[in-house]
Amino acid sequence: MTHTFTTREKILLLILVIMLLGVAYYFAIQIPVSDRILTAQNTEATATDEMSVETVKATKMKKMQAVIDGADSNSSKAEIPVYDNLEKVMLQLDAILGTTTDYNLTFDQISKGDSLVYRPISMSFTCPNYSTAKSVLANLNNCKYRCMLDNISVATTTSLSPDISNGEVMVNLTVTFIEKVS
């Protein structure tokens, strides 16, 4: 015996088929596509973050390279005088250290190498404030005679004011002047 479906049963079966198709679509298509979209968005966010970090790094590296290039260009302008230029170096140091409160120079052993003479001078000086000390160091770095600054330390002279930007500061360093052997 074959059963014939009534109109009501046909409508209910049609609704059931439509619901099954909707559920199948949801589980077979909608969920995987949503997961892929979410994964792509997360990947995009990660890539954007990494790109931002790399952009910041690149910007910092360009700034550092500009500082290095600037330092190279400043030092290349400095003259390398012929050996035993001590009198002119002393006049230059006196002019540079004139803004300090007090200074002390100790001449270390001269060394020679590659047709150059290295004249290291251990120096300490006191300045009324940090900005003056910074200015003195910049003037030493930009000295008209080729030199290298090493072992720089800056400290306050009193324990009452540990803030280095205010109050008197003492600077210790070694400046090495370079001269040519004639």
Averaged over 100-107, what is the pLDDT? 92
Question: Is the separation of the CB atoms in 152 and 143 below 8 Å?
Answer: no
How does residue 75 score in pLDDT terms, banded at 50, 70 and 90?
A: low
- Nearest of 142, 88, 94, 98 to residue 119 by alpha carbon: 88
pLDDT at residue 161 greater than cutoff 80:
no
Residue 71 has pLDDT above 70, yes or no: no
Average pLDDT over residues 84-98: 89
Report the pLDDT averaged over residues 126-152.
90
**Measured distance CA(18)–CA(14) in Å, rounded:** 6
Q: Residue 157 pLDDT more than 90? A: no
pLDDT at residue 73 in the model? 59
Q: Is the dihedral of CA 10, 13, 19, 25 positive or negative?
A: negative
Highest mean pLDDT among 38-47, 60-69, 106-115, 149-158: 38-47
Here the tokens at position 129 are: 């404030």
Mean pLDDT (whole number) for 143-147? 87
